[in-house]
Amino acid sequence: MSTTKIGIIGLGLMGGSLSLALQQSSTAYYFVGLDHNHTHEKEALDLGIVDTIANNLEEISQCDIIILTIPVDGIIAISNAFGTLDPKTTVIDLGSTKEKISQSIPPAIRANFVTAHPMTGTEKFGPSSAVSHLYQEKVVVLCDIQKSGTYQQTVAKELFERIGMKLVFMDAVEHDRHAAFISHMPHALSYALANTVMSQEAAESIINLAGGGFRDMSRIAKSSPNMWEDIFRQNKHNLLEAMESFQSELKKCQTMIEQEKWKELNHWMQDANRLHEIL
């Protein structure tokens, strides 16, 4: 059986978990890692996430499959730094925004790229956060797939299916609007909730009174600020629209409470309950 060489740029939660999942599915992979954080590179080697560390981007570009699991601004920078790639090389980015990434890939290597967004993750980061089951039975959105080469499309689909993911296809513009409401706005709200509580409550009160609801809603405020700053920047227009919609709903709630319209408030809450008929 021939060995497939997979290069992973970004050896944190997403890249590390992908490696562990693929290792469980087959022994026919050899993993080459690269990360700007040399401590993460050493940890990834020690944890068996990668077999070796590349010295530079040129070494990574020789791999059969290249996975980009770095902040979205970095994905654009790397895609423009590759130069030429072998026609059989498949590059898969796992960024949380897709439109600007898809548009920024140089035309000469656009067919090499598959722009994907696995709808999974945790607030943890670094190689030690990697888990083999992160992608299992989760959705991966493949965007602007018609711009990818036929060979690259097949490679990406087989890779994601191998680790147990469900494939969804979507236009990159459409993806970013949906992601703003489903993923990006909730992160903004979690950061806002955390800052609101910390500005009003003493640490002792937070520890003593914070129950499961607060912990669940504030959990993703632990996510990397550097990563989410890039995401907010790239999806600014859609995120602002989502935030305005949320503020409108919150204002409705505030007005009903101020005016003591309890029956209307109850109906408003019942409307929200319907979400769980979908999820």
Dist. CA 68–CA 45, nearest whole Å? 18
Largest CA distance in the chain: 71
- Looking at residue 179, which CATH number applies to its domain? 1.10.3660.10
Place of tokens 């087959």: 26
Lowest mean pLDDT among 23-37, 87-101, 113-127, 168-182: 113-127
pTM over 0.85: yes
Structurally, how many domains does the chain consist of?
2
CB 6 within 8 A of CB 63: yes
Q: What is the pLDDT of residue 218?
A: 85
**Which pair of structure tokens corresponds to residue 205?**
């009160």
Q: Which of 223, 221, 170 is nearest to 14 (CA)?
A: 223
Given 125, 145, 170, the domain boundary residue is 170
* Whether residue 12 sits in one domain with residue 135: yes
CB 132 within 8 A of CB 17: yes
Q: What is the pLDDT of residue 1?
A: 59
Q: Which of 36, 220, 244, 14 is nearest to 134 (CA)?
A: 14
- Looking at residue 54, which CATH number applies to its domain? 3.40.50.720
* Whether residue 217 sits in one domain with residue 156: no
Q: What is the pLDDT of residue 62?
A: 96
Given 170, 195, 222, the domain boundary residue is 170
Strand partners, 169: 142
CB 139 within 8 A of CB 170: no
CB 242 within 8 A of CB 218: no
Q: Where are the beta strands (DSSP E) in the chain?
A: 4-9, 29-34, 52-53, 65-68, 90-93, 113-118, 139-143, 166-170
CB-count exposure of residue 47 (10 Å: 0-12, 13-18, 19+) = middle
* Whether residue 142 sits in one domain with residue 179: no
* Whether residue 207 sits in one domain with residue 224: yes
Strand partners, 166: 139
* Whether residue 98 sits in one domain with residue 203: no
Lowest mean pLDDT among 79-83, 89-93, 159-163, 201-205: 201-205
* Whether residue 160 sits in one domain with residue 35: yes
Tell me the pLDDT tens digit for each residue of 8-52.
Answer: 999 999 999 999 999 999 889 999 999 999 999 999 999 999 999
Distance between first and last Cα of the chain? 41
102: left (phi over 0), alpha (psi -120 to 50) or beta: alpha
* Whether residue 121 sits in one domain with residue 249: no
**Residue 56: partners with Cβ closer than 8 Å, 6 or more residues away:** 34
CA-CA-CA-CA torsion for 155, 158, 159, 164, nearest 10 degrees?
Answer: 160
* Whether residue 200 sits in one domain with residue 121: no
With 80 as the cut, is the pLDDT of residue 279 above it? Answer: no
Given 143, 170, 197, the domain boundary residue is 170
Rounded average pLDDT over 150-175: 97
Range of the domain at 155: 4-170
* Whether residue 120 sits in one domain with residue 20: yes
* Whether residue 104 sits in one domain with residue 53: yes
* Whether residue 82 sits in one domain with residue 149: yes
* Whether residue 135 sits in one domain with residue 34: yes
